[in-house]
Amino acid sequence: PSLSLGARCVSLSYGNLAQRSRCSKSTSAAKPCQSNTLAVPRRGAGFQRHPTTMSGTWIEGERAQDTALVHAGVAPDAATGGILTPIHQSTTFVQESIDAYMAKGYSYSRTTNPTVAVLEAKVAELEGAAGSCCFATGMAATVTVMSAFLSQGDHCVLTDCSYGGTNRAARELFGKFGVEFSFVDFRDADAVAAACRPNTKLVFSETPANPTLTLTDLAAVSAVARARGALHCCDATFATPLMLRPLALGCDLSLHSTTKYFDGHNMTVGGVVSAKTAALAERLHFWRNVHGNIMAPHTAFLTLQSSKTMGVRCRAQAANALKVATFLETHPKVARVVYPGLASFPQAELAARQHAGGFHGGMLWCEVKGGSAAGRRLMDTCQRPWSLCENLGAVESIITCPSVMTHANMLPEDRLKVGITDGFIRLSCGVEDAGDLVRALKIALDAL
């Protein structure tokens, strides 16, 4: 596909972050427009600018984020006019000559692929990044970040509450290669600063954290990392670009498991990392090629389509989450419920300040009276539309037992230290009717 061949970009509004775009002309489909603002192509390849308006030209001025979610990084196919990006299901790409090797930007799909490149351009624009790099899974993205920016003898300050796979990769994989980790409560930027050492090269946060929903003040922690010459990577999977853009808050790298809200339909697994500078993006692409963990073209195609409705889906999910959380707060069998949109949320001030437009996401958690046994009984008996399984962020509502599923690979003492008990109930709200979601939970709670 043409991606952004010859395209100029204009800025899109993102709350108070709208700025004048400084995109330069792109010379290759593998090199998306670089901007600190959300942007869409002003014209697609094959369409000519005219003094008067005509089909195929873009309206002048700023456009809203929902428009960017649909159109960012994408242009009609130059050869056919197809409105969807083609799936380039090809291992290799024919070269015109040895001297012209890679002249078109592609050689082998382990290194880069045209369909994947379009998704990378889309995410880069949504994140305000110099470039993005797509991976086969979210964990592939995490492992590649650590591979790219940590070496033997280096130190990383890592949140003590993260996705269980992140914790395991640090302890079991990189620890045996001589990389040191400090697991710290990222609610306290001073604690992060105190944990830094002369050999600290990477600070790795997650906000909202999986599954406790604790928040990191990204601007404060980024300042800590910058003062010590370390990079700050934020896993913003729970947040989505609708809630916050880590790079705009000072982070160097922003990571998402696209499996979750970018997909939103339980169809694919994938990951993406967006970088503040071209040099960081190039390093990620280099190490992705080393690992051979690029996203598949078909996965990129599906994610390109599903991400278009992220705004519609996620706002509906957030509305459901608030209604479910409000109900749980009133039920006599519930001991505690945590959701960033509740007045009772422990970090309500930070949530109000850091989460754009009062958007607090579709995730919440609770514990019920009667301890872990009662919590597990609730998860075993809660009826549809709730589904007992792993994953989150999908249109289907999901109830998860982290101690057995998503965080079972954490050391039990580490898991309990951050509050993930055996009866901890994680809820990912879908887009079903909120009344049905509440009714199913009420039936299960009343039976405890």
Closest CA to 201 of 151, 263, 136, 126: 151
User: Of the given ranges (34-38, 80-84, 362-366), which has the lowest mean pLDDT?
Assistant: 34-38
The pLDDT value recorded for residue 407 is 84
* Per-residue pLDDT tens digits for 134-190: 999 999 999 999 999 999 999 999 999 999 899 999 999 999 999 999 999 999 999
Q: Concatenate the DSSP letters of all residues of 132-152 into one string.
A: EEEESSHHHHHHHHHHHH--T
The pLDDT value recorded for residue 12 is 32
The yes-or-no verdict on residue 388 having pLDDT over 90 is: yes
The yes-or-no verdict on residue 42 having pLDDT over 50 is: no
What mean pLDDT comes out for the span 284-293? 98
User: Of the given ranges (8-17, 410-419, 437-446), which has the lowest mean pLDDT?
Assistant: 8-17
The pLDDT value recorded for residue 62 is 77
The pLDDT value recorded for residue 51 is 58
| Total Cβ atoms within 10 A of residue 89 | 12
Confidence of residue 418 (pLDDT cuts 50, 70, 90): confident
The pLDDT value recorded for residue 8 is 30
Structure tokens of 160?
A: 């003590």
Between 349 and 49, the more confident residue is 349
The yes-or-no verdict on residue 17 having pLDDT over 50 is: no
User: Helix, strand or coil for residue 234?
Assistant: strand
The pLDDT value recorded for residue 417 is 84
Residue with tokens 């705009």: 248
Q: Give me the chain's average pLDDT, please.
A: 89
List active site positions.
Answer: 110, 163, 235, 260
What mean pLDDT comes out for the span 433-442? 98
User: Of the given ranges (77-81, 285-289, 301-305), which has the lowest mean pLDDT?
Assistant: 77-81
Closest CA to 180 of 163, 197, 161: 197
**Amino acid in the structure at residue 423:** G
Between 391 and 30, the more confident residue is 391
Contact partners, residue 94, CB within 8 Å, separation at least 6: none
Do the strands 155-159 and 131-135 form a parallel or antiparallel pair, or are they unpaired? unpaired
The pLDDT value recorded for residue 15 is 34
What mean pLDDT comes out for the span 279-307? 98
What mean pLDDT comes out for the span 425-433? 97
* Per-residue pLDDT tens digits for 316-351: 999 999 999 999 999 999 999 999 999 999 999 999
End-to-end CA separation in angstroms for the chain: 56
The yes-or-no verdict on residue 421 having pLDDT over 70 is: yes
The pLDDT value recorded for residue 58 is 86
Q: Are 294 and 109 in contact (CB under 8 A)?
A: yes
The yes-or-no verdict on residue 50 having pLDDT over 80 is: no
Percentage of residues of the chain with pLDDT beyond 70: 88
The pLDDT value recorded for residue 48 is 53
What mean pLDDT comes out for the span 409-419? 80
* Per-residue pLDDT tens digits for 301-312: 999 999 999 999
The span from the CA of 323 to the CA of 431, in Å, is 12
Between 310 and 1, the more confident residue is 310
Closest CA to 34 of 21, 15, 16: 21
Q: Where are the beta strands (DSSP E) in 249-292?
A: 253-256, 271-275
